[in-house]
Amino acid sequence: MEFPHIGEHCSVTTCHRLDFLPMKCDSCAAILCKDHIKYDEHQCPLAHRKNVQVPICPLCNQAVPLQHRDQPPDHAVSDHIDRHCKSDPAMKKRRKIYSNKCSFNSCKQREAIQVNCDKCLKTFCLKHRFPDDHKCAGFENTGRVMNLAGAAALERMKKANVNVTNKNSSSDSKPTNDDDDEESIALAIKLSLNQTTQEENDFLLAKALQESEQEEARARRSTGITTKG
């Protein structure tokens, strides 16, 4: 004869045994029979709360303290490897992930994501990302603001100028005969005319800045038209 009003059923779904002397798990508070009272037997989801063992890092063999009582040990070890582990594999992994070095003088901080200043377009850490924090001097220390499109245009101009200079240098390095003096002189004059001067660099920068400002003006006009529509 069963007495369903006496005792309680085991919380394990595959059991549900009616136990006249039920027990409560001291971690998850589930009602259990004597066969499932142990943490492993009922797969207690909060068993780590009672686990007083300190996990050990498998890479550096150092004890890893838990940040709080409810933190799973594997999470603590993973966080330790990502941030604090001094082993060679962990440090190589961090160098690969945190590859964006701060451009601020004396700062050695690296970030996992690239953070660029809107004015000088240099890469900085989160601490120095604002212009006032890294004493921003503008694009290439000109005091001017340059957007990405303008910087790309300037870079293309510089590369084109370098390619022309390299081609001329390569042509000038070819051996010539004594009878080709006039051709050598003409080539030297051509090379001297194609060499990059400070004035040409200033012109390229000014042109890129102008292109940047024109693009910003077009963007503002486009935004104004969209807003009115």
Residues 215 and 178 occupy one common structural domain = yes
User: How many domains are there within the chain?
Assistant: 4
Q: 124 is in which domain, residue-wise?
A: 101-145
Residues 191 and 224 occupy one common structural domain = yes
Q: State the Cα–Cα distance between residues 131 and 145, nearest whole angstrom.
A: 11
Residues 115 and 175 occupy one common structural domain = no
Residue-level pLDDT at 203: 65
Residues 161 and 212 occupy one common structural domain = yes
Q: Quote the tokens at residue 105.
A: 């003088």
Residue that wins the pLDDT comparison between 47 and 33: 33
Model confidence band, residue 32 (pLDDT cutoffs 50, 70, 90): very high
Q: Choose from 68-77, 91-100, 144-153 the range with maximum mean pLDDT.
A: 68-77
Return the minimum-mean-pLDDT range out of 14-28, 37-51, 137-151, 181-195.
181-195
Residues 66 and 79 occupy one common structural domain = yes
Count, residues in the chain: 229
Query: Phi-psi category of 192—alpha, beta or left, where left has phi over 0 and alpha has psi -120 to 50?
Result: alpha
**Closest to 54 (Cα-Cα) out of 46, 39, 65:** 65
Q: Is 0.75 surpassed by the pTM of this model?
A: no
Residues 35 and 107 occupy one common structural domain = no
Report yes or no: 48 and 72 within 8 Å, Cβ to Cβ.
yes
Residues 80 and 58 occupy one common structural domain = yes
